[in-house]
């Protein structure tokens, strides 16, 4: 009898998740090779939202490139602005006045809360719980309204300026912000009641996407994604800018480096951000909000409209840009997603010779294959959520 | 009403005429049940959106009609007039027939649900088995739709659904065996009547294990959160009906909500006493027995809607399980529990009788 050996040929199923997919947080594209439900290989493709922000920055004066930083991570534009102006100030060698520094710290932490709360909502929504997502927008709306009150814009704020902030804050703003700050911890308790000890949530996140401390450093992770693995690195602590060295806050750390620990870290960060805002309001000094450095800062608008010298001053700065010392400078700031770095090479003209953005989302997107391979499709979703990427920043 | 009809039919001597009258009566019953059921399905969606809306600090539909009451009708009209897109590479005959299979199988289940003592289209003695058969048949609609769409997302959704429905069908069937043992019947009307005679009036108290298994399995059977993996929108876009649009999509949608209605009805009939209230309440409040029949239909509806509310409540609260966890719950937790329940119920029945 003839023995026929017939082995069935099986193939991996390749699915293209994205760029249009409900859970890829924008236009991330993942090509997944599946063996049943198991992910064998995961290849991220980025660049669908590329706008050439770095190149655009090289064709604008340092003042005019500020709004570009809004459009990096459009969920936390305030933090990007703060990062940008800090880097430019470092290059110019000027320093913002005390009051402006406090205001910047305060609004940056508001941006952190609004960004983390979006992260919480979408991450939880991806895993299937709809209610925290809508609760999250309730709190975000308050912050958006406060931003609108502050500078007229809600999303792309461009509020901080090189050498300070655009305008002083009103007492009304401070009062409303203080109410929010006092109320916020109880809102956080709401989320934690729904999510933190939820068994289904723990089943979906504990032990998923584990990355050890050493590996996390090697991949270049920063922010909550790094601290979830237990690495105590926070730019606000290690290279303080603005007034982070004068406010008290803790850096929440995870242990296991899984999705659940990263979740706890970011929840903790929101509470700490709230604490920082409270201290900033209480310690806010009086004084000017713009540095007294006429060569690098624009003159006050009302003087420009009245006075010839100020008009010429403004005209020169806007058209030619400031005269900048030659050299290069890197400044990293802690944005909600991780360490956002701005690197400028100056050739002495009013425009940067090279502007480079170190985008945490880009670095974090590169770790996705490491996290996803070997897991199930459902874990891919959890992992995309947990690294907290925004494609506007990733693709630049 | 029924007696009058019966006596009228009894007077008719021609057997063909008799058959004709029977068929007409059944058709009228079917028309009434389908019309009412679809109306309920439509307003179940409205109620779901309202309930979940208020749970999520928003209002739900509010614009169309007073308090958005006409929203389901507007949705239906919209879906009806939408373009019916069929993917170029789809297996067309199967693509056409899949939503029909799904919808018809769920709708057919309605025929054995007793809304009231005699108001049931088909008072058959294997009602419970018929329900299982129909709900398994619905899985074919899902699998075929996933296959014929020729889309990988739909395909994965269909596969997930097939394994999920098969696994949970077992747990669900076993969970109701306890009820069968206690009532000694597969006929749903008899089950309700047996329950009324039982001291607690409702089977969910002695059958608490079975009730638990049934509730969990019912969520999985109807693809609802936390077990909505076949249509997990964050993973598989929309699962098996990703490629469907317009009225074909509406058939899936209606089928799913009819499925929820049926699961709630089975729960009400088998565990919550159907249209009856427990005997001890009837004895305590004698005027209840003089109430018109329509009240008891309402009692049944209240039980059904209470269970539907539970569906919505869970949806607003829980995240989604992962595929392997879903299977683990089905095979390692629910089926052993259901078997244990059968053993306990059987032993108790023997001990009490003997």
B235 touches chain A (CB under 8 A): yes
Closest CA to B310 of B126, B121, B27, B47: B47
Mean pLDDT of A2-27: 74
Structure tokens at A376: 């199930």
Predicted confidence at residue B234, as pLDDT, reads 66
SS3 A338: strand
Render pLDDT for A240-263 as a digit per residue (tens, 0 to 9): 888 888 888 888 888 888 889 999
Closest CA to A161 of A301, A285, A272, A274: A301
Nearest to B322 among A124, A135, A203 (CB): A203
Contact B64, B74 (CB under 8 A): yes
User: Which residues lie below 8 Å from residue A277, measured CB to CB, with a gap of 6+?
Assistant: A106, A109, A110, A113, A177, A181
Mean pLDDT of A135-149: 89
* Alpha-carbon gap, residue B57 to A141, rounded angstroms: 13
Name the residue ranges covered by the structural domains of chain B: 87-353
Please report the sign of the dihedral spanned by the C-alpha atoms of residue A265, residue A267, residue A273, residue A275: negative
Render pLDDT for B160-191 as a digit per residue (tens, 0 to 9): 888 888 888 888 888 888 888 888 888 888 88
**Pairing mode, if any, of strands A164-165 and A29-35?**
unpaired
B78 touches chain A (CB under 8 A): no
* Alpha-carbon gap, residue B248 to B99, rounded angstroms: 6
Q: Tell me, what DSSP letter sits at residue B330?
A: I
SS3 B54: helix
Given a cut of 80, is residue A80 above it in pLDDT? Answer: yes
Given a cut of 60, is residue A158 above it in pLDDT? Answer: yes
From chain A, the residues in CB contact with B324 under 8 A are 37, 376
Q: What share of chain B is helix, strand, coil (3-state, %, to 5)?
A: 75, 0, 25
* Alpha-carbon gap, residue A243 to A241, rounded angstroms: 6
The answer to whether A22 contacts B237, with C-beta atoms less than 8 Å apart, is yes
From chain B, the residues in CB contact with A134 under 8 A are 56-58
Render pLDDT for B236-272 as a digit per residue (tens, 0 to 9): 777 777 778 878 888 888 888 888 888 888 888 888 8
Predicted confidence at residue A293, as pLDDT, reads 80
The answer to whether B320 contacts A127, with C-beta atoms less than 8 Å apart, is yes
In whole numbers, what is the pLDDT of chain A averaged over residues?
Answer: 86
| Cβ density class B32-47: b for 16+ within 10 Å, e for less | ebeeebbebbbbbbbb
Whether the bond into A58 is cis, omega within 30 of 0: no
Chain B contacts in chain A segment 186-215 (CB below 8 A): 194-195, 198, 200-201, 203-204
- Please classify residue B287 by burial: count the beta carbons closer than 10 Å to its beta carbon, then call 0-12 exposed, 13-18 middle and 19+ buried: exposed
Q: Which residue has the higher pLDDT, B286 or B1?
A: B286
* Alpha-carbon gap, residue B63 to A80, rounded angstroms: 39
Strand order in A38-45's β-sheet? A13-17, A29-35, A38-45
Closest CA to A342 of A333, A352, A331: A331
User: Which residues lie below 8 Å from residue A36, measured CB to CB, with a gap of 6+?
Assistant: none
Judge if ipTM > 0.85.
no
Given a cut of 70, is residue A124 above it in pLDDT? Answer: yes
A139 touches chain B (CB under 8 A): no
* Alpha-carbon gap, residue A142 to A156, rounded angstroms: 16
The answer to whether B320 contacts A200, with C-beta atoms less than 8 Å apart, is yes
Predicted confidence at residue B4, as pLDDT, reads 64
- Backbone φ, ψ for residue A248 (5° rounding): -95, 130
The answer to whether A127 contacts B225, with C-beta atoms less than 8 Å apart, is no
Q: Where are the alpha helices (DSSP H) in B122-185?
A: 127-148, 152-183
- Please classify residue B23 by burial: count the beta carbons closer than 10 Å to its beta carbon, then call 0-12 exposed, 13-18 middle and 19+ buried: exposed
Nearest to B319 among A37, A200, A377 (CB): A200
């Amino acid at each position: 009898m003839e023995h026929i050996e017939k082995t069935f040929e099986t193939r991996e199923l390749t699915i293209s998740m994205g760029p249009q997919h409900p859970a890829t947080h924008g236009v991330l594209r993942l090509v997944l090779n599946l063996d049943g439900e198991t992910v064998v290989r995961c290849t991220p493709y980025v660049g669908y939202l590329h706008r050439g922000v770095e190149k655009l920055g090289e064709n604008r004066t340092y003042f005019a490139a500020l709004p570009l930083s809004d459009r990096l991570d459009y969920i936390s534009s305030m933090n990007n602005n703060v990062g940008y102006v800090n880097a430019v100030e470092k290059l110019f060698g000027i320093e913002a006045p005390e009051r402006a520094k406090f205001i910047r710290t305060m609004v940056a932490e508001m941006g952190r809360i609004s960004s983390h709360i979006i992260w919480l909502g979408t991450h939880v929504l991806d895993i299937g719980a709809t209610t925290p997502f809508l609760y999250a927008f309730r709190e975000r709306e308050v912050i958006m309204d406060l931003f609108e009150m502050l500078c007229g814009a809600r999303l792309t704020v461009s509020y901080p300026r090189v050498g300070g902030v655009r305008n002083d804050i009103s007492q009304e703003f401070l009062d409303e912000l203080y109410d929010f700050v006092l109320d916020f911890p109880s809102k956080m308790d709401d989320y934690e009641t729904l999510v933190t000890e939820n068994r289904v949530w723990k089943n979906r996140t504990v032990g998923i996407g584990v990355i050890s401390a050493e590996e996390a450093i090697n991949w270049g992770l920063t922010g909550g994604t790094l601290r979830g693995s237990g690495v105590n690195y926070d730019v606000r602590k290690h290279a303080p800018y603005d007034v982070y060295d004068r406010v008290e806050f803790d850096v929440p750390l995870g242990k296991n480096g899984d999705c659940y620990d990263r979740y706890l870290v970011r929840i903790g960060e929101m509470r700490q951000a709230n604490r920082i805002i409270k201290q900033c309001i209480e310690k806010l000094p009086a004084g000017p909000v713009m540095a007294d450095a006429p060569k690098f800062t624009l003159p006050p608008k009302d003087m420009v409209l009245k006075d010839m010298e100020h008009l010429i001053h403004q005209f020169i700065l806007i058209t030619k840009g400031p005269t900048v010392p030659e050299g290069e400078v890197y400044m990293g700031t802690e944005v909600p997603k991780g360490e956002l770095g701005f690197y400028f090479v100056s050739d002495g003209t009013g425009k940067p010779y090279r502007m480079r953005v170190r985008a945490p989302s880009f670095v974090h997107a590169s770790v996705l294959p490491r996290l996803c391979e070997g897991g199930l499709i459902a874990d891919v979703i959890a992992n995309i959520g947990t690294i907290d990427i925004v494609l506007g920043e990733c693709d630049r | 009403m029924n007696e009058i009809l019966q006596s009228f039919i009894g007077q008719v001597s021609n057997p063909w005429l008799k058959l004709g009258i029977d068929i007409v009566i059944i058709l009228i019953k079917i028309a009434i049940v389908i019309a009412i059921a679809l109306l309920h399905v439509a307003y179940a969606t409205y109620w779901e959106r309202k309930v979940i809306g208020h749970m999520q600090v928003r209002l739900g539909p509010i614009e169309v009609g007073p308090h958005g009451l006409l929203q389901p009708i507007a949705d239906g009209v919209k879906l009806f007039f939408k373009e019916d897109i069929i993917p170029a590479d789809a297996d067309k005959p199967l693509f056409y027939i899949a939503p029909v299979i799904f919808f018809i199988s769920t709708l057919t289940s309605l025929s054995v649900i007793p809304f009231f003592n005699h108001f049931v289209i088909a008072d058959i003695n294997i009602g419970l088995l018929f329900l299982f058969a129909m709900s398994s048949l619905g899985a074919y609609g899902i699998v075929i739709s996933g296959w014929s769409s020729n889309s990988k997302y739909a395909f994965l959704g269909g596969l997930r659904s097939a394994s999920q429905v098969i696994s949970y069908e077992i747990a669900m069937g076993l969970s109701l065996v306890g009820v069968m043992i206690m009532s000694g019947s597969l006929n749903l009307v008899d089950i309700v009547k047996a329950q009324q005679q039982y001291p607690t009036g409702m089977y969910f108290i002695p059958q608490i294990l079975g009730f638990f298994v049934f509730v969990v399995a019912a969520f999985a059977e109807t693809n609802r959160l936390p077990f909505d993996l076949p249509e997990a929108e964050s993973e598989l876009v929309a699962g098996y009906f990703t490629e469907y649009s317009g009225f074909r999509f509406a058939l899936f949608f209606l089928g799913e909500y009819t499925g929820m209605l049926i699961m709630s009805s089975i729960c009400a009939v088998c565990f919550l006493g159907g249209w009856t209230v427990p005997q001890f309440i009837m004895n305590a409040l004698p005027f209840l027995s003089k109430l018109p029949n329509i009240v008891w239909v309402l009692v049944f509806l209240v039980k059904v809607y209470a269970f539907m509310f539970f569906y919505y409540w869970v949806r607003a609260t829980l995240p989604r399980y992962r595929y392997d966890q879903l299977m683990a719950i089905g095979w390692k937790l629910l089926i052993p529990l259901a078997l244990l329940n059968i053993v306990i119920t059987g032993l108790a029945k023997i001990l009490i009788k003997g």
